[in-house]
Amino acid sequence: MKKILITGAAGFIGFHLIEKLANNNFNIVGLDNINNYYDVNLKYARLLKSGISKEKIEYNTFVLSNSMKDYRFIKLDLLDKENIFQLFKNEKFDYVINLAAQAGVRNSLENPYAYIDSNIIGFFNLLEACRQNFIKHLVYASSSSVYGANTKTPFSEDDITDFPISLYAATKKTNELMAYTYTYLYNLPVTGLRFFSVYGPWGRPDMAYFKFLKNIKKDIPIEVFNNGKVERDFTYIDDVIECLMVIIQAITGKEKNGKISGANFYKNNIYNIGNNKPRNIEDFITIIENRLGKRAIKKYLPVQPGDVLKTYADIQKIESQFNFVTKTDIESGLIKFIDWYLEFYHDY
């Protein structure tokens, strides 16, 4: 049975990936430091849904899921080099999926050290652990933010990404460079994924769509930056997870499909994971308004430092190499999120 470490296990994407992988002939270890960047109660709720009880969680101690076969969780920080190295030595992982990071463009302006620590030093510790323990493949989360203020659209993996406009973006670009170096020097197979505005049930409360829904529901003004002239390539969580599953099947050799079989998988590669259909933020707000049956109170503001005005993913590479396409349109995906939100927060 393949043993996989998934970092960021209490996070949005990590939680959904573990739900998909569980009971699927994978031995899974989920790792998270459960920091307080956003509401830890949501993180604990995700863990509970995965069968991990909050009351049993202690630092650097395994908790066995009571509902998922072959899933264990450990609270641990990637900055804790000694215990991270010991974990790798003891567990002898085959594969690592790194979804742990300090997220948020605007927060990186206010708390820069958290981004350097988590996204660079933490990632370096992970790379070293992978190298020293002969990990067969590392998959890690990058971000569409690396494209910066690129005006050429759609954004292609071949575009120059040397001009990030936020510290968060700079740390993600640094991850890509570090990963490339470890492939070049140590022959570590690595795959980076540039996620584009992932949304959906169990999502992050710091994201705009989450804040919009919460405030519109409670008749609180919402902040609409650049006077509403912002476009995002919103990508529904189920599509992201399906894409991750295809990649995991490829790197573990479960999917025998010519050039993407486990044995022939590229040593270092980067893929856009997006919807390829950018939408204006005003459209997003309208969908929420219509679902709730009430109008938003909008507070129009100028563009914020570090904000990208438009994201737009060129997904030809992921389509051609994995025969993968996203399936969820923004209307149906956002309605699923709204319905989850109303149920989870009992906010009818």
Question: What is the SS3 assignment for 230-246?
Answer: CEECCEEHHHHHHHHHH
2-199+234-276+312-327 sits in which CATH class? Answer: alpha beta
Checking if the pLDDT of 195 tops 50, the result is yes
Active site residue 341: no
Residue 261 has what pLDDT?
Answer: 45
Tell me the three state secondary structure of residue 224. Answer: strand
Read off the pLDDT of residues 131-154 as tens digits, 9 standing for 90 and up: 999 999 999 999 999 999 888 999
Spatial CB neighbours of 205, under 8 Å, sequence gap ≥ 6: 38, 39, 42, 211, 214
Of the candidates 224, 235, 247, the one whose C-alpha atom is nearest the C-alpha of residue 275 is 235
Rounded to 5°, the CA angle 12-13-14 comes to: 95
346 burial (CB, 10 Å; 0-12 / 13-18 / 19+) is exposed
At 258, the amino acid letter reads G
Statement: residue 265 has pLDDT above 60: no
**Contact yes or no for 194/141 (Cβ under 8 A):** no
Q: Residue 222 carries which DSSP code?
A: E
257: Cβ contacts below 8 Å, ≥ 6 apart = 250, 323
Which tokens sit at 173?
A: 């670009």
Given 95, 115, 147, 168, the catalytic residue: 168
Lowest pLDDT segment from 105-119, 155-169, 277-291: 105-119
Please determine, for residue 263, whether its predicted confidence score (pLDDT) is greater than 70.
no
331 token code pair: 């209307």
DSSP 90-128: HH--SEEEE------TTHHHH-HHHHIIIIIIHHHHHHH
b/e sequence 19-37, b meaning 16+ C-beta within 10 Å: bbbbeeebbbbbbbbbeeb
Among 156-160, 161-165, 256-260, 263-267, the minimum mean pLDDT is found in 256-260
Rounded Cα gap, residues 272 and 295, in angstroms: 34
Report the chain's mean pLDDT, rounded to a whole number. Answer: 92
pLDDT winner (highest mean) among 158-162, 228-232, 253-257, 307-311:
158-162
Q: Where are the domains of the chain?
A: 2-199+234-276+312-327
- Cβ(203)–Cβ(209) below 8 Å: yes
Once rounded to an integer, what is the mean pLDDT over residues 272-287? 93
Q: Which pair of tokens denotes residue 288?
A: 């929420």
Rounded to whole angstroms, the Cα distance separating 341 from 14 reads 19
Q: Which of 157, 218, 179, 185 is nearest to 342 (CA)?
A: 218
Average pLDDT over residues 262-281: 82
Tell if the pTM clears 0.75, that is, is over it: yes
Contacts 24+ apart (CB under 8 A), 10-13: 10/34, 10/43, 10/44, 10/46, 10/47, 11/43, 11/46, 11/99, 11/100, 11/204, 12/198, 12/202, 12/203, 12/204, 12/237, 13/99, 13/141, 13/195, 13/198, 13/237, 13/240, 13/241, 13/244
Instruction: Judge whether residue 122 has pLDDT over 90.
Output: yes
The phi-psi region of residue 143 (left if phi > 0; otherwise alpha if psi is between -120 and 50; otherwise beta) is beta
Tokens 């908790």 correspond to 63
205-235 residue pLDDT tens: 999 999 999 999 999 999 998 888 889 999 9
Pairing between strand 231-232 and 279-280? antiparallel
Identify the residue with better confidence: 304 or 213.
213
Mean pLDDT of 336-348: 88
Beta-strand ranges (E) seen in the chain are: 2-7, 26-32, 62-64, 71-75, 95-98, 137-143, 190-195, 198-199, 222-225, 231-232, 235-236, 268-273, 279-280, 298-301
